[in-house]
Amino acid sequence: MTVAGKGRLSGKRAVVTGAGSGIGRASAVLFALEGASVVAVDRVEDAVDETAAMIRANGGTVLSVAADVGDEESVKTFINLSVEKHGGLDVVYANAGISGGLVPLGEQSVEYWLEILRINLIGPFLAIKHASPIMAKQGFGSIVCTASVAGLRANAGGLPYSASKAGVISLVQTSANELYGTGVRVNAVCPGLIETGMTKPIFDNARARGTEGKIGQLNPLKRNGVPEEIANMALFLASDEASYVNGQAFAVDGGLSSTHPFSG
Ligand code: NAD
């Protein structure tokens, strides 16, 4: 069955990373539904192939790529694939990321830090580096990165994770300035707690202890978010509806970062 969207990305060529699961999968599916030709990227081949199958089942156009977002040659290849196979590049959603878990400070190795920074911060940097010249040449384009409320507030994630996400917020602000005059917009989405592959252990533990209902209680909306609610913000930022939105980071967290004690 073909499900029609509203055409908010009609005719656009988009790359979405981390498209094999959670927020990236929901976004790749939504972008295609809204008319984009999508290059879906994930390091887990089966997972991204499954996302591509979902998009094709909706009648969408998609290429599925297994690649590591922290590897510069791979990033060049999947960015160029959009140009070669879909005829251009209008949108990049640099979303792939890892949490790294919660490791006590004294046990955090340099290698542990470097791997989190490589994927969460260098990944979006490489996407901006290689997508922006293509977009600048045409005079427009939208790059969206996934940061986190952990990048906005202390005590919402592990140390290198939070530092990497604060880095993503600085990356979008500074890139918007670096790309002065090019017509390329760069923004970030900062999700709150969303049930995905990344946060599954939190929810599984709570279910095992029978405390699942408590996880969302701190949130003013009294619930956690779902990937589609982040995808909706990424869609808005990717689309021409956000044509004057640039260099910003938006919390999509039900109000948690404004109201929880960690907001101070
Ligand atoms: P997820 O684990 O469900 O999805 C992340 C996807 O990224 C996975 O499919 C994984 O294989 C892929 N990936 C990881 N490293 C990669 C690499 N080097 N190259 C290519 N693909 C890679 O998690 P999610 O929650 O959907 O995470 C998406 C983004 O949202 C991440 O940047 C994460 O930090 C951010 N985020 C998530 C939450 C949350 O509560 N789930 C909150 C704030 C921010």
pLDDT at 264 (0 to 100): 43
| CATH number for the domain harbouring residue 20 | 3.40.50.720
Extract the tokens encoding 67: 């690649």
Extract the tokens encoding 14: 């988009």
Report if residue 74 sits inside a domain: yes
- Tell me the backbone φ, ψ of residue 27, rounded to 5 degrees: -70, -45
Q: 249: which strand partners?
A: 188
pLDDT at 261 (0 to 100): 66
pLDDT at 4 (0 to 100): 66
| Cα 177 → chain centroid | 21
Catalytic residues: 161
CA of 42 to the centre of ligand 1 (A): 10
Burial of 226 (0-12, 13-18, 19+ CB in 10 A): middle
- Going residue by residue through the chain, which has 264 residues, state the pLDDT in tens, using 9 for 90 and above: 445 689 999 999 999 999 999 999 999 999 999 999 999 999 999 999 999 999 999 999 999 999 999 999 999 999 999 999 999 999 999 999 999 999 999 999 999 999 999 999 999 999 999 999 999 999 999 999 999 999 998 877 899 999 999 999 999 999 999 999 999 999 999 999 999 999 999 889 888 988 888 888 889 999 999 999 999 999 999 999 999 999 999 999 999 988 876 644
CA of 260 to the centre of ligand 1 (A): 24
Best probe residue, ligand 1, of 196, 199, 204, 256 (max atoms within 8 Å of C-beta)? 196
pLDDT at 2 (0 to 100): 45
Report if residue 241 sits inside a domain: yes
The question of ipTM being above 0.85 is answered as yes
pTM: predicted TM-score of the whole model, two decimal places? 0.97
CA of 59 to the centre of ligand 1 (A): 25
Report if residue 24 sits inside a domain: yes
Give the pocket of ligand 1 (CB within 6 Å): 17-18, 20-24, 42-44, 47, 68-70, 95-98, 119, 146, 148, 191, 193-194, 196-199
pLDDT at 176 (0 to 100): 97
Q: Whose CA is nearest to atom 33 of ligand 1?
A: 97
pLDDT at 179 (0 to 100): 98
Nearest atom, ligand 1, residue 225 CA: 40
In the chain, the DSSP E strands lie at 13-17, 37-42, 61-66, 91-94, 141-146, 184-191, 249-252
Q: Give the 3-state secondary structure of residue 81.
A: helix
Report if residue 63 sits inside a domain: yes
pLDDT at 218 (0 to 100): 86
Report if residue 43 sits inside a domain: yes
Report if residue 58 sits inside a domain: yes
CB 91 within 8 A of CB 185: no
- Name the residue type at position 185: R
Report if residue 208 sits inside a domain: yes
What's the number of domains the chain is made of? Answer: 1
Instruction: Tell me which residue range forms the domain holding 64.
Output: 13-100+108-251
Report if residue 71 sits inside a domain: yes
CA 163 to CA 159: how far, in whole Å? Answer: 6
